[in-house]
Amino acid sequence: MRQRWQLWKLPHMTSTDSTSRPPANDGVARARPKIGITVGDPAGIGPEISRKAATDPRVLDVCEPVLYGPPSTESFDIGRVSARAGQAAYDAIVTAVADAREGRIAAMATAPINKEAFAAARVPWRGHTDLLAHLTGARRVAMMFHADALRVILATVHIPLAEVPSALTRDVLEETIDLAARELPLFGWPAPRLAVAGLNPHAGEHGLMGLEEGAVLVPAIDACRARGVRVEGPFPADTVFVRAMRGDFDAVIACYHDQGLIPVKLVAFGRAVNVTLGLPIVRTSVDHGTAFDIAGRGIADPSSLVHAVLLAARLAAARA
């Protein structure tokens, strides 16, 4: 289906090809911060949920949303992967990051992009996290999924499962633990209690089911504890998330993508927020993809993006 956007009805819209930008921060206190919303892949549900989130009373109560995307004169094949859509999503992100770094917006929340569309457009990054690290010069970043019931930080992200054991080095895990301990105070935990999930069943069962716990995870945890970080583990992954939900820990470090995302999406899908830790700017995002199967039908649920914008406003205030 070919459809033309009719998204940019808000007076504070910023189009990626426009010279009309939000004014730079002049140091004058304002009641509501400007929060940028990138609309993601224009062939997916991003434009719809962005428009809904930007007009949601809960959002308007705490911030002034600024939308970033291609101009409404452009049209895209809804529900289809294309290089044009991938490039448009990329351009919006680049513009929003520049505005965030210049103080034109206080934070940014991103609607979903499509990794295949990025690849078709020859964008050399797999997704938001590595792209944002590149654009901001951040040395070490981590993906965290934040919900009231559970917080999960990923030590490795978008790599094949077969590559996880070699990618999960002691340095990587130490940096992830340290980053979580440093960033979580912004979320309300001044001295966060962290748990590390084991890579193997039963956290390796003392070497009977895998050697990574003893060779990599335990030394990394011990090194972080020696620096004063409140971290424990490795714990069996089939119980550690339940313990965190019961209040034993403030966040769990997961070894790989699905290990961490399955539990958080099971308990809070649509309410969880993806946060990039380690950036010099505030960036939040949704907990779902582009949903090409329902794009253009007007039925997409904006709940996760609403929560992402609300959290972005809260984190911007905490950093101010």
pLDDT at 214: 95
Domain shared by 99 and 161, yes or no:
no
Domain shared by 225 and 252, yes or no:
yes
Which residues span the domain enclosing 209?
140-272
CB contact at 8 A, 95 and 131: no
The alpha carbon dihedral of 305, 115, 316, 255 has a sign of positive
Tell me which of 254, 272, 290 is where a domain ends: 272
User: How many domains does the chain divide into?
Assistant: 2
What's the alpha-carbon Rg for the chain, to the nearest Å? 20
Start-to-end Cα distance in the chain:
44
pLDDT tens per residue across span 230-267? 999 999 999 999 999 999 999 999 999 999 999 999 99
Domain shared by 101 and 6, yes or no:
yes
Domain shared by 290 and 207, yes or no:
no
Q: Tokens in use for 42?
A: 């224009």
Q: Mean pLDDT across the stretch 148-153?
A: 96
Q: Mean pLDDT across the stretch 271-297?
A: 95
pLDDT tens per residue across span 40-96? 999 999 999 999 999 999 999 999 999 999 987 889 999 999 999 999 999 999 999
Tell me which of 252, 272, 292 is where a domain ends: 272
Q: Mean pLDDT across the stretch 125-143?
A: 93
Domain shared by 184 and 74, yes or no:
no
Domain shared by 78 and 94, yes or no:
yes
CATH number at residue 152: 3.40.718.10
Domain shared by 185 and 100, yes or no:
no
Identify the CA nearest to 169 among candidates 158, 156, 182, 188.
Answer: 156
Residues 285 and 305: their CA atoms lie apart, in Å, by 7
Domain shared by 39 and 89, yes or no:
yes
Domain shared by 88 and 114, yes or no:
yes
Q: What are the two backbone dihedrals, phi and then psi, of residue 231, each rounded to the nearest 5 degrees?
A: -135, 140
Residues 148 and 150: their CA atoms lie apart, in Å, by 6
Domain shared by 313 and 286, yes or no:
yes
Q: Mean pLDDT across the stretch 157-183?
A: 96
Domain shared by 105 and 155, yes or no:
no
Identify the CA nearest to 189 among candidates 250, 142, 264.
Answer: 250
Q: Mean pLDDT across the stretch 204-232?
A: 95
Domain shared by 11 and 115, yes or no:
yes
